[in-house]
Each structure stands twice: as structure tokens, then as C-alpha cells.
Amino acid sequence: MKAILDNSTQSNPLVSVVLVDWSCRESYHALHYLNHQSVARDQYEIIWIEFYDRQAEGIHKRLEEDRKAGRPLSLDQWMVLGFSRDLCHHKHLMYNVGIAAAQGRIITFCDSDAMLKPSFVESIIDTFNYDKNPDFKDSGAVLHCDEVRNSAKKFYPFSYPEFEEILGEGCINWDGRTTTGLADQTDFLHRRNYGACMSALKKDLIAIGGADEHLDYLGHICGPYEMTFRLCNYGIKECWHPSEFLYHTWHPGTDGEYDHLGPHDGHHMSSTALTVRTTQRILPLQENLAIKALRQSEETPDRSTLMKKALEVDHSHWSIKNLKKLDQKRTVTSSTLKNIMVQFMERATHSLKKHKTFKGLLRAVFYTSFFYLRDLVRQNTQIQVNCKLFLDSLAVEKADGFAIMGTGEVAEHLYALTKQSPIHIQGVYDSPSAGSFHDFKISPLEDLANFPGKVVMGTHDDVERRVDILLKKLNIAPDRIIVL
């Protein structure tokens, strides 16, 4: 590892903002916005961590301009980890390096190519001010800020547009007063951007073992929200800022199209992270040695020892070439195509009803519908893979079958796959229990209390409430609840 810049001993900041890169950033405008904040610059530090062996010319140029202008440097810490280009990047490793290096009481993991308003850091500090938020005094808090996203290509290359422009044409998740994710109460796990920005106390992040470096988190899938889920299990309260947002414009690869994708639920939400919410696990599956030392030591190890420990990792399975071989092939079967078309018609109808102008109607038909269809193909082919792997695991366990709670995209895929499988659906349950699902009568949820096997969430809608019912109302063990 190369420490290109280290001003960490020159201040005692409240907040450490950790930005990560894997030689993918073309623009470094986040540094501009972070250096134009409403709070004094010594109240927060900015840490940039590069996974590969690249020293971005754009950052060097900015630092040189800072020196010539006699102003505070745009970065406080700049670390280049120096991993080989034939390895897949690991964001969670970079998070742990950030935790170990951070001097602030609060650590913020932030999208490194976002636009941020001048109130951003102040909003984070205010949230953790116990005088203003007495509810957090005992439990602490893990704060998320949602991200406003614009898919219009007119902002690329990045040209410092006004924030109001991002809310205009091309914006995909703004309802006029807030993000559609914050406004949504049925599926906030998928409609809010859990990966954009997360803040928590450094002591709490250390207490849960930092970010999980399990192989499932290599590449694009997952982000700091994996820590959020374990922080909640630790007793920390999750909250979303009601008015502070990040703003993101389109760039090539903005949705991770060119990255390795670990296991996810079809909506790019990590399956491995989602299981944390049902198993109630606190510590990571793979803990970083530096974070483990901080968690277990009475005295803080010196900085050089920590940084050395942080990079003592086994990367023998990180090869991009080998990961591509292991990636599941995704094919569109006839049953998958049927599911895609049903979902597409539902979404398209909803979109058409929203648009009252001719321009809006054309956009819904020719632009929005394309992205709907593209996302639906991705989601459904991934769900099909997840369902196949689940059925294979039951076959290995020599289980007879499973139950389904709720009817939706997952239930449809499982129904189609079990037609050619020795594993059978042994019941479909929902509330209300009226109606049927194919040749199954839908039974009341209360009857699940007597079912001894695995219970699969048949839909991703409202999954949090459904899992909560199984855990608390029906007392079903966490290891029996499956979210695919």
C-alpha cells in the first residue's frame, strides 16, 4: 500500500468521509462538493482509497491547484492499495481500510461520484448530535441518505450541472418533493438506494467487526448496507435523512454492467446481506484482521501495524478470469419470458397512467419501457438462478419440499422449476388467504406455524413485514426463512 497523502494527524475531525475507487472514476467532482460545505473544513476529513495501483491524474491536478491557491487540500488521506489488475475489486476491504484509518468519531461511506449539497456534512453531524436527537442517545444510529438519480446522457462527461437540472428531464426517482424510495412504504429495500451513503459511529462499526470480506461481496454487489443490517441486529437504530440527498448523473457502467456480480435477489440487493436480517447475525462471516485487532484490543494498535493487518488478506480466489468461469449462465426460458411479459405489462400500464402530456407519454413508451424491460430480464434471470440453487440445496439435504409465503415473481419461478424437480411445493400461504395460486389453494398464514420445513418468500414486495410476521408472530426460526 502507498500512502500518497496523509494529513490525518493535523486535525481532530468529527466526521471521516470515506470514498472508494477501483480505477473506475473518470470525474472527481465529489471532492469539489465535499470541499464546499457549510461547516469548517477541520470538522471533517476526506479519505480516498484506490484498490488498484493507479494514482488518478485528476486528483493530483486538484491537489496541485490547492497548493498553488494556498487553500486546504481537497484530501486528507489518499491510499493506493496496489492490487493486481487481474483481481476483482473488493469494496468491503476498502471500507475496512477506511475504518482503520479514520480519525473521526463518525464515519461516512459515500458514493465517490455523487453531487453533494453544502449542507451534507452538517446534516450528518446534526443527526448524531444527541441533544437534537435524544432517541439515539442509548441506541446510537446508522444514517442513510437516499440518492436522486438521473439517467440522461447529456450530463456526461460531467459538467457541474445545477441541482435543479438533476431533478428535471431524465430523473428516474423524484416525485416532486422527495425520492420515490423515501415515499414508498411497501418495498423500501429495493426502492431506496442503500448503497449510496451510510454513516455510523466508528466505535459501533468496530463492535460489529467492520465490513464483511466474504467472497460473496466481491465486485459490484453490496455496499455499506451489509453493515447496516448487522448494526441493527446489534441494537443500532436505522434512519433515513428526510431532506439530505446525494445526486447522481449517468456515466458508462453506472449500474455495474461491467463488474462481477455476487449472489443477489434479482434486484441487485445482496442475497447474503439479506439473510443477516433473518438470522440476526452481528459479526461478519470474514472479519478483517485490523478491525478484529481494534475490536479485541484494549489499546489501539499503532497506525502502521493496523494498515499492515488490514491488507493481510487471502486474495487467491479473487481472480477475474476464474470468477467469470464460476458466474452462472442466465437464460430466458419460456416460463421466465412469461413472467417478464406479465410484469412488464403491469409496470408499463402504471407508467402510462402517470403521464398526462404527449411528451411524457412518448418517454414512457420508448424510453422508460426499454429500461423496464432490460431490468426485468436481469431480475428474472437472476431469480431463476437463485431458485434453481435453492432447489438443488434442498435435494442435497434430501428434503421433501418447502412452503411459499406470498405469491409473486419468486413463487412463479419456483412453481415452474418444481415441475421438473423432485422437490415439491407443499403449501402456499398468504394474508388474506382467499383465492388460489395455480393448482394450490392459498392457506391462512397462521397455518404456517404447524409447517416444519423451509418457508420461502414468494415475493420481494413488503418482504420486511412478512419476515417480521414469521419471526415474531409465528415464532418460525430464522434459519427456516428463505429470501431468494
Residue 147 placed within a domain: yes
C-alpha cell at 371: 429500461
Rounded to 5 degrees, what angle do the CA atoms 83, 263, 53 make? 10
Neighbours of 408 (CB within 10 A): 20
Maximum average pLDDT range among 100-114, 395-409, 452-466: 100-114
Residues 338 and 318 in one domain: no
pLDDT, tens digit (0-9, with 9 covering 90-100), for 18-73: 999 999 999 999 999 999 999 999 999 999 999 999 999 999 999 999 999 999 99
Amino acid at 215: L
pLDDT at 431 over 90: no
Main-chain dihedrals φ then ψ at residue 46, nearest 5 degrees: -120, 125
The whole-angstrom separation of Cα 57 and Cα 436 is 61
User: Mean pLDDT, to the nearest integer, of 402-421?
Assistant: 93
Report whether the peptide linkage leading into residue 432 is cis, meaning its omega lies within 30 degrees of zero. yes
pLDDT at 363 over 60: no
Residue 66 is predicted with a pLDDT of 96
Residue 248 placed within a domain: yes
8 Å CB contact between 461 and 445: no
Residue 364 is predicted with a pLDDT of 53
8 Å CB contact between 227 and 98: no
Residue 328 placed within a domain: no
Residues 184 and 287 in one domain: yes
8 Å CB contact between 467 and 448: no
Residues 235 and 100 in one domain: yes
Residue 150 placed within a domain: yes
How many residues are listed for the chain in this entry? 484
pLDDT, tens digit (0-9, with 9 covering 90-100), for 247-273: 999 998 776 556 888 888 877 899 889
Residues 246 and 359 in one domain: no
| Confidence tier at 404 by pLDDT (50, 70, 90) | very high
pLDDT at 294 over 90: yes
Indicate the pairing of strand 106-110 with strand 115-116.
Answer: unpaired
**The domain that contains 220 carries what CATH number?**
3.90.550.10
> Closest Cα to residue 460, out of 413, 416, 397, 393?
413
pLDDT at 354 over 70: no
**The domain that contains 389 carries what CATH number?**
3.40.50.720
The whole-angstrom separation of Cα 82 and Cα 65 is 25
Residue 172 placed within a domain: yes
How many structural domains are present in the chain?
A: 2
Residue 360 is predicted with a pLDDT of 57
Amino acid at 213: E
Its sign, for the CA torsion 417, 420, 422, 426, is: positive
User: Mean pLDDT, to the nearest integer, of 454-472?
Assistant: 86
Residues 286 and 172 in one domain: yes
Domain, as residue range, for 318:
2-323
> Is the whole model's pTM more than 0.75, yes or no?
yes
Residues 292 and 386 in one domain: no
C-alpha cell at 184: 414508498
pLDDT, tens digit (0-9, with 9 covering 90-100), for 184-231: 988 889 899 999 999 999 999 999 999 999 888 999 999 999 999 999
Residues 43 and 76 in one domain: yes
In the listed set 323, 342, 359, which residue is the last one of a domain according to the structure?
A: 323
Residues 338 and 310 in one domain: no
Residues 59 and 118 in one domain: yes
Residue 329 placed within a domain: no
| Confidence tier at 301 by pLDDT (50, 70, 90) | confident
Residue 293 placed within a domain: yes
Residues 159 and 39 in one domain: yes
Residue 36 placed within a domain: yes
Residues 363 and 304 in one domain: no
Cα 309 from chain centroid (whole Å): 26
Residues 309 and 343 in one domain: no
Residue 376 is predicted with a pLDDT of 72
Spell out the residues 6+ positions from residue 154 whose beta carbon is closer than 8 angstroms to its own: 170
Q: Give the range among 1-5, 331-335, 359-363 with minimum mean pLDDT.
A: 359-363
In the listed set 270, 298, 323, which residue is the last one of a domain according to the structure?
A: 323
What is the DSSP secondary-structure string of 167-212?
Answer: TSTTBSSB-SSSBHHHH-SS-HHHHS-TTTEEEEEHHHHHHTTSS-
pLDDT at 361 over 60: no
Could you tell me what percent of the chain has a pLDDT over 70? 89
> Closest Cα to residue 75, out of 112, 126, 106?
112
User: Mean pLDDT, to the nearest integer, of 370-398?
Assistant: 80
In the listed set 276, 299, 323, which residue is the last one of a domain according to the structure?
A: 323
The whole-angstrom separation of Cα 182 and Cα 324 is 36
**What H or E segment, with its residue span, contains residue 375?**
helix 369-397
Could you tell me what percent of the chain has a pLDDT over 90? 64
| Confidence tier at 87 by pLDDT (50, 70, 90) | very high
Residue 183 is predicted with a pLDDT of 95
Residue 193 is predicted with a pLDDT of 97
